[in-house]
Each structure stands twice: as structure tokens, then as C-alpha cells.
Structure 1
Amino acid sequence: MGLGSTAKKIQIVSERAEQVYKQIQELQQRIIHLERKLEDTHDTATALDHRIEENRALLVAIAEEQGVDVDQVTTQAAIDDADELARDDEAAAGADGGRTRETPPQGAE
């Protein structure tokens, strides 16, 4: 193998290493950007959680002042949500011919 061939191979490896290095730098910048966005999102979610808790406390105080049973209302809301989810599941099962994701279609075994 001649020196020219070796030099060419070293040049190709060097160029490829440069490309990989640039890609790594780009990925690093993207990760830093995503970390900042994640921190911002976390801060926003924390602030929203705090506001929700404040609003809930106000609503509970108003409800109690008006004689509303908060536990009964929240229990009924949970039941209504569960009923709605069950209806959605039944509708989805009906839309796919009654099959669930765990049950393969007939003849597919």
C-alpha cells in the first residue's frame, strides 16, 4: 500500500471525524435548549399547580358557605367520569368489531 493511499484514507477518516464532531456539537446545543425548555415548563406547571390549589381552596370555602357537600360533588364527578370512560371503551370495542387489542382477529393465529 502506497503512501498516497494511506494519506487519502487518513483524510477520509479525518473528514468523517469532523462531521461527527459537528453533529455532536449540534446535539449538545439541542439538549441544552431542551433542558431550558423543560425547566421553563416545570416552572409553569408548578405555578399552575399552586394556582389550582388556591382556586380549589376558594371553591371549597364558597361551597361550604353555600351548604354544598364538596365530597358528594367530587364523588359524583368521579363516578360520571368513570361512566364516560366505560362508554368510550364500549364504543371503541364496537367500532373494531368487538375485538380488544389483546385478542387477535379470527384466523390470525
Structure 2
Amino acid sequence: MGIGGTAKKLQKVAEMGEELYKRINDLREQVNEMRETVTATHDRVEVLESEVAEQRAILEALARTEGIDLDAVVAEAHITEAERSNGEGDGSAGGDASADAEDSVTGTTANGPGDSTSRD
């Protein structure tokens, strides 16, 4: 092999090295940007969690003041959400489960206390 063939191979290896170096720098920049995004998102989540905790404390205090059974309200919300989730997947044509549910605060149904369709 002559010197010309070796020079071409060395040039090709040098070009590949430069391309890899560029790619590594691009990846390094992307990782740094991702790290900054994750840190900013983490900070926002901490603030939101703090605000939600404050709001929950306020709602619990209001519920106690008004004599509302917060556990019953939360349980009813979870049941209603589960029924909605189950109804979406099977394409059932049943009525809205929350429309017939008794309001745990007022003791009435969504149809009203005097409606003949309300349950007792």
C-alpha cells in the first residue's frame, strides 16, 4: 500500500472522528437542556404539591365547619370516576351513574328531593 492510500484512510478516520465529536457535543447539549427542564419541572411540581396541600387543608376545615363527611364525598367521587372509566371502555349505553347518585351533603338525588324518580 502506498502513502496515498494511507493518507486517504487517515483523512477518512479524521473526518469520522470530527463527526463523532460533533454528535457527542450535540448530545451533551441535549442532556444539559433535559437536566434543566427536569429541574424546572421538579420545582414547579413542588410548588403545586404545596398549593394542593394548602387547599386540601382549607377544604377539610370548611367541611368540618359545615358538618360534611369528607371521606364519604371522596369515596363517592372515586366510585363515580370508576363507573365512568368502566363505561367508556365497553360502550355501554347506560345512564349517567352520577345523575342517580345521592348527594352526600344534601341527601337528595340529582333529580331533586321531590322528584318521583329519587330513591329513598
- Give secondary structure in 2 for the equivalent of 1:34: helix
Q: Which runs of 5+ in 1 are unaligned?
A: 93-109
Q: CA deviation at 1:23?
A: 0.7
* Alignment match, 1:56: 56
Which one has a bigger Cα radius of gyration? 2
Q: Distance in 2 between matches of 1:81 and 1:64?
A: 24
Task: Give the 5 Å matches for 1:46-85.
Answer: 46-85=46-85
Q: Which runs of 5+ in 2 are unaligned?
A: 93-120
Residue by residue over 1:70-104, the C-alpha shift from the partner in whole angstroms, topping out at 9 and shown as x without a partner, is 00000000000100010012129xxxxxxxxxxxx
* Alignment match, 1:103: none
Identity of aligned residues (%): 35
Task: Give the 5 Å matches for 1:15-30.
Answer: 15-30=15-30
- Give secondary structure in 1 for the equivalent of 2:73: helix
TM-score (ref. length: structure 1): 0.81
Q: Distance in 2 between matches of 1:56 and 1:34?
A: 32
Q: Size of the alignment, in residue pairs?
A: 92
TM-score (ref. length: structure 2): 0.74
1:6 aligns with 2:6: yes
Q: Distance in 2 between matches of 1:77 and 1:31?
A: 41
Superposition misfits of 4+ residues, deviation over 2 angstroms: none
* Alignment match, 1:39: 39
2:2 partner letter: G
CA RMSD of aligned residues (A): 1.2
Q: CA deviation at 1:31?
A: 0.3
Q: Distance in 1 between matches of 2:13 and 2:91?
A: 59
